[in-house]
């Protein structure tokens, strides 16, 4: 009855100001909201200091819910950030130092995308971020390089040398010596005898068998090898057996880039249950493992759904690539701003091409996914470049590469002579590996063509993107954020958090039997928050 009276009251006024007044009170997240019922059955708002309507007469209330109350408070204390949300990395430096710095100055954690970036440039980026954010928060990504272990060692050396205290580990299939070295070298004993973790790891994972490895302590075999090589001390190895490999597991659902396209609301509870199983197996673990959610987080509704499903924190990705601070071209950002949820598809990845790994990319306005898939089919069908039929070779050289195989191979040799000469030596012994490197030339450069807005290569742009981008575009349509030039990464993430808290307060009132008008059931960005 009470809820019906409120609806009647609001409908009979037929004044937009009444709707806006109630919305404004719901959006005042720092203050609780109380509802009382008058003698006529109508619901009214109680002012906290209104003695004529004491709070104990309220029939429903929504507590104050500032955005820093969403998620796990320990996430915020660990990473010195003000909210349980962070902007995940995008390779090739798309999640740029400028993006990380902008987020950090407002108390948000952001991760620099070091994947595909030369070690020297990674070092420069770290120094730039640390200069602007001496106290943080910031993270730097480490992308798995299964065919280039030496590259991983170089990046880990940079992390340790620059004292980077938060690593975001992506696309890993197993625990590597580099990960163990980073983790173990950051362990110390505090004055109270507890293990102090200096080097934190956030692992982005979509498979529970891989998550299990990061939830457990470092493999003893790898620890023993590092001790034997005098890379870590025996004390550090002993401490490493008492803590999990990762502080946080980011459950990566249907995201852009590397993904298994798993549904978040199925994957997240599975990972939480896996964590409990690990606790039973390793009851001595000192550190608590948080489980966060990524993939599809692009609206207040999706953010709230993840938090209600048990996520300790949430991670945004694809949507940040359309923001001004992303190191990509305006043309690419405009392509992203026009994307719908169905405008994405899977394509072979450059870094793990031979393994058949795939990434999710934008398909609208580009033929990259189709061409990359064709290259992988050719790779699987033939043992060498020489075996490729003349018609297929001509198509690849003229339409895809716009260069001959010989010219591409020459550039490939130059590239790997500086980066990893062992790759060329292997390819000279194995014709199929040579073909893989030639095809990876296209896969690797296609993302840079998109970043640099290379003329004549528009049909070959590789733009990592998940369906979250389309959902975000639908959400902001008609608002100032529809214009890609207005998209600021801090504002975008703050709008999503604010909307999630607003909707949470509505759900709390609904749980007390209050049914609010439909016009109040959504949150739309109205004006910039920063």
Encode pLDDT of 227-236 as tens digits.
999 999 999 9
CA pair distance 426, 97, nearest whole angstrom: 35
Residues 249 and 252: their CA atoms lie apart, in Å, by: 9
Distance CA 308, CA 324 (A): 31
Q: Given this model, what pLDDT does residue 21 score?
A: 82
Those residues whose C-beta lies under 8 Å from the C-beta of residue 367, and which sit 6 or more positions away, are: 459, 460
pTM: 0.92
Distance CA 40, CA 163 (A): 66
Q: pLDDT tens for residues 382-394?
A: 999 999 999 999 9
In Å, how far are 15, 45, 53, 188, 401 from 57, measured between CA atoms?
Answer: 27, 11, 7, 54, 73
Residue 16 is predicted with a pLDDT of: 56
State the pLDDT confidence band at 45, using cuts at 50, 70 and 90.
Answer: confident
Residue 5's pLDDT is 42
Work out the pLDDT band at 38, boundaries 50, 70, 90. low
Burial 245-258 (b: 16+ CB within 10 A, else e): bbbbbbbbbbbbbb
Which pLDDT score, from 0 to 100, does residue 264 have? 96
Q: Is 360 helix (H, G, I), strand (E, B) or coil?
A: strand
Whether the per-residue pLDDT at 28 is higher than 60: the answer is yes
pLDDT score at 213: 98
Query: What percent of the chain is modeled with pLDDT above 70?
Result: 94
Which of 136, 3, 96 lies closest to 513, judged by CA?
3
Contacts of 58 (CB under 8 A, 6+ apart): 34, 35, 36, 46
Domain ranges of the chain: 2-64+489-520, 68-328, 339-460
The mean pLDDT value for 329-350 works out to 96
Report d(CA 5, CA 249) in Å as an integer.
46
The model's pLDDT over 499-519, given as tens digits with 9 standing for 90+, comes to: 999 999 999 999 998 888 888
Beta bridge partners of 196: 188
- Rounded to whole angstroms, the Cα distance separating 407 from 398 reads 12
CA neighbours closer than 13 Å in the CB half-sphere of residue 142: 31
Q: Taking a C-beta distance cutoff of 8 angstroms, is the pair 339, 361 a contact? A: no
Q: Please report the pLDDT score of residue 510 as a whole number.
A: 93
User: Which fold would CATH assign to domain 68-328?
Assistant: TIM Barrel (3.20.20)
Average pLDDT over residues 419-442: 94
pLDDT at 12: 43
C-alpha dihedral sign at 485, 471, 259, 102: positive
CA distance 21 to 94: 41
């Amino acid at each position: 009855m009470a809820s019906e009276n409120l609806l009647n009251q609001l409908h009979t006024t037929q004044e937009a100001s009444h709707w806006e007044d109630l919305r404004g009170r719901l959006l005042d997240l720092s203050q609780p909201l109380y509802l009382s019922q008058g003698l006529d059955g109508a619901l009214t708002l109680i002012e906290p200091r209104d003695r004529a309507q004491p709070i104990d007469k309220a029939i429903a209330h929504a507590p104050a819910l500032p955005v820093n109350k969403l998620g796990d408070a320990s996430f915020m204390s660990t990473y010195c950030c003000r909210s349980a949300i962070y902007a995940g990395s995008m390779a090739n430096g798309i999640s740029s130092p400028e993006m990380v710095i902008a987020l950090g100055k407002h108390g948000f954690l952001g991760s620099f995308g070091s994947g595909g970036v030369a070690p020297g440039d990674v070092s420069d980026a770290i120094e730039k971020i640390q200069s602007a954010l001496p106290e943080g928060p910031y993270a730097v990504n480490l992308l798995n390089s299964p065919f280039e272990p030496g590259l991983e060692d170089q990046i880990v050396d940079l992390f340790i040398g620059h004292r980077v205290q938060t690593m975001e580990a992506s696309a890993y299939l197993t625990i590597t010596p580099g990960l163990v070295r980073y983790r173990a070298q950051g362990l110390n004993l505090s004055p109270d005898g507890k293990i102090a973790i200096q080097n934190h790891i956030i692992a982005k994972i979509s498979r529970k068998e891989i998550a299990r490895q990061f939830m457990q302590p470092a493999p003893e075999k790898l620890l023993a090898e590092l001790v034997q090589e005098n890379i870590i001390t025996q004390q550090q190895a002993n401490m490493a057996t008492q803590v999990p490999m990762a502080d946080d597991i980011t459950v990566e659902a249907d995201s852009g880039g590397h993904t298994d396209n798993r549904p978040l609301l199925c994957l997240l509870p599975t990972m939480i249950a896996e964590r409990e199983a690990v606790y039973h197996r390793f009851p001595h673990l000192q550190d608590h493992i948080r489980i966060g959610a990524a993939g599809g987080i692009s609206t207040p509704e999706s953010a709230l759904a993840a938090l209600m499903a048990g996520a300790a924190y949430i991670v945004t990705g694809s949507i940040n690539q359309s923001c001004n601070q992303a190191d990509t071209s305006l043309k690419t950002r405009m392509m992203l701003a026009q994307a719908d949820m169905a405008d994405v598809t899977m394509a072979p990845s450059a870094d793990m091409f031979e393994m058949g790994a795939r990434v999710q990319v934008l398909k609208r306005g580009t033929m990259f996914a189709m061409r990359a898939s064709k290259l992988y089919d050719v790779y699987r069908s033939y043992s060498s470049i020489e075996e490729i039929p003349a018609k297929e070779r001509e198509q690849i050289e003229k339409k895809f590469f716009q260069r001959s195989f010989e010219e591409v191979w020459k550039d490939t040799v130059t590239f790997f002579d500086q980066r990893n000469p062992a790759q060329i030596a292997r390819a000279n012994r194995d014709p199929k590996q040579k073909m893989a490197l030639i095809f990876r030339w296209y896969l690797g450069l296609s993302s840079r063509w998109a970043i640099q807005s290379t003329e004549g290569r528009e049909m070959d742009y590789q733009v990592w993107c998940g369906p979250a981008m389309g959902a975000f575009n639908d959400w902001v349509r008609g608002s100032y954020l529809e214009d890609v030039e207005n998209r600021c990464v801090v504002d975008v993430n703050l709008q999503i958090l604010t909307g999630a808290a607003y909707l949470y307060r509505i759900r709390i009132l609904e749980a007390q039997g209050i049914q609010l008008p439909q016009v109040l059931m959504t949150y739309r960005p109205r004006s910039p928050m920063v």
